[in-house]
Amino acid sequence: MLQDITSPFYSWIRGGLLVLFVYHFIIYVQNRDVLHRYYSIYLFCLTVYLVRDAFTNETVQYYYQYISFSIQYIGYAYFIHFCRSLVDTKQNFPKLDKGAVNLSKGLLLLAFFLVVIQFLWGYEVQKLAVAWSVPFTSFCAFYIFFVVSKKKSKQVFYLLLGSILFLILANISSIKMVKGELYLIDFKVHRMFYYFIGAIIQSTIFAILIGNYFREIIKQKNKVEIYLLKQRNQISELKLTALKSQMNPHFLFNSLNSINNFVIQNKVDEASDYITKFSSLIRKVLRATNKNSISLKEELDVLSIYIKLEQMRLKNSFVFEKEIGNNINIQELKVVPLFLQPFVENAIWHGLSLKKGDNKLILSVQLEKKDIVVKVVDNGIGLNASQRKKDKQLLNKKSYGINLVKERLELMYGQEIKVDIEDVSDEKATGTQVFIRFPYNL
């Protein structure tokens, strides 16, 4: 039975490979992933080659001589792409990846030349050309396997096991095709027996391989989904905390007291103006904290209203200057909602409000290379003097608010942010500077 290439034994293997081809092709059509595309093409070429001996018609056999070897090399070319996708050689072995791409192109070129050889010189010369090409292609394959083996994983182990077994058995069949049935191994089977056995062993191993591969992908996907869920929950918590931190109770009470004082002093216009600005600020804060990001223009609008309220409350004891780089599109640049307010609030309450004289608050937003650099500078009493005046509890609250801003910035920009606060006081002047740097992402 094993000597008859048309026997049920060989037919079962052909049928199994055909079923595997249809199965992987259907998965590719459903998911459009390159792994199943390359592997289904490889299985198709392998099946077409092995179906050759199932036909006894001389005409069919004649035309098969034109494609039987070429279809193998086409299949091997796509098998290389299958391996590249599985191991991600472009990322893990960039130099090897380029060589593998060139080798696959060479196999496709060889497949074309084999058809030309068959047309010009016949099948025997084509078999000789294949016999001479086998050692070179086998050497290339073993070199690729050697390099890939450096990546330790289940996928690589199964890939190497299936590929090497098939390569050895396929080469035995190729040698027997040239040297004769009894060459190398005197075993009463058809010379293609080793090729068939190699193909079914490889397909079985690769079934396990692909199953493990996609099981790992599902695990990673689940981990990512859990991570994103945690991130969304964290964002929601931070948004709620941010809302609470922006609406500082002291600020609310002071604002209501200011309104009350304007009314008592019969300053109706000032009271009306203050109430209008205050209600506008509340609306904008509520609207901003419902978003993950807002434009820099929105951020500056909210900040501008807040500063005007503080100026009115403190009877214009400080001036505010704003410097925005000409190369920054404030309408398009997305930022963390209300990230400037805590720093400006600290500058006013713990710096400017504690000092008499010409007080100034400067906000600078500039583009430096690929980063946005924000500076909040005041000429108040200075960071060190402010810390000496405040008790430990207030300092902890202040630190908490700044850490909250850092966390929100890191959620949006990753670890590529920098926040520094330093005392810039010297013998001539006092003050504090806040330095914030984050990526310029439109």
Residue 27 lies in a domain: yes
Residue at 239: amino acid letter? K
Residue 273 lies in a domain: yes
Same domain, residue pair 98 and 135: yes
Global pTM exceeds 0.75 = no
> 396 pLDDT exceeds 80?
no
Within a 10 A sphere around the Cβ of 294, how many other Cβ atoms?
22
Task: Report the pLDDT averaged over residues 29-57.
Answer: 88
Domain boundaries, position 333: 247-439
Quote the pLDDT of residue 26: 92
Same domain, residue pair 254 and 312: yes
Same domain, residue pair 89 and 34: yes
Can you give the length of the chain in residues? 442
> 232 pLDDT exceeds 80?
no
Residue 242 lies in a domain: no
Quote the pLDDT of residue 260: 75
Query: What DSSP letter does each residue of 17-51 carry, written as one string?
Result: HHHHHHHHHHHHHHH--HHHHHHHHHHHHHHHHHH
Residue 396 lies in a domain: yes
What is the Cβ-side half-sphere exposure of residue 302, based on CA atoms within 13 angstroms? 25
Same domain, residue pair 195 and 319: no
Q: Are 332 and 372 in contact (CB under 8 A)?
A: no
Q: Are 365 and 325 in contact (CB under 8 A)?
A: yes
Residue 239 lies in a domain: no
Residue 119 lies in a domain: yes
Residue at 195: amino acid letter? Y
Closest CA to 43 of 156, 194, 162: 162
CA distance 207 to 314: 75
The SS3 assignment for 318 reads strand
Quick one: which H or E segment has residue 394? helix 392-413
Digit-coded pLDDT (tens) for 269-292 = 888 888 888 888 888 877 776 777
Same domain, residue pair 199 and 98: yes
Quote the pLDDT of residue 378: 93
Same domain, residue pair 270 and 216: no
- Of the candidate ranges 184-193, 234-243, 358-367, the one whose mean pLDDT is the lowest: 234-243
* 436 pLDDT tier (thresholds 50, 70, 90): very high
DSSP category for residue 265: T
The SS3 assignment for 84 reads helix
* Domains contained in the chain, number: 2
Residue 1 lies in a domain: no
Query: What DSSP letter does each residue of 328-387 carry, written as one string?
Result: --TTT-EE-TT-SHHHHHHHIIIIITT--SSEEEEEEEEEETTEEEEEEEE-SS-HHHHH
Helices marked H in 247-349 — which ranges? 249-264, 268-288, 296-313, 341-347
Same domain, residue pair 202 and 264: no
Digit-coded pLDDT (tens) for 113-143 = 999 998 899 888 887 887 778 777 778 788 7
Digit-coded pLDDT (tens) for 405-419 = 777 788 777 777 888
Residue 3 lies in a domain: no
Same domain, residue pair 377 and 326: yes
Same domain, residue pair 284 and 379: yes
- Of the candidate ranges 95-99, 295-299, 393-397, the one whose mean pLDDT is the lowest: 393-397
Same domain, residue pair 194 and 292: no
Tell me the two tokens of residue 169. Answer: 């058995």
* 250 pLDDT tier (thresholds 50, 70, 90): low
Task: Report the pLDDT averaged over residues 317-344.
Answer: 89
Same domain, residue pair 173 and 215: yes
Can you give the CATH number for the domain in which 412 is found? Answer: 3.30.565.10
Task: Report the pLDDT averaged over residues 322-327.
Answer: 92
Within a 10 A sphere around the Cβ of 288, how many other Cβ atoms?
22
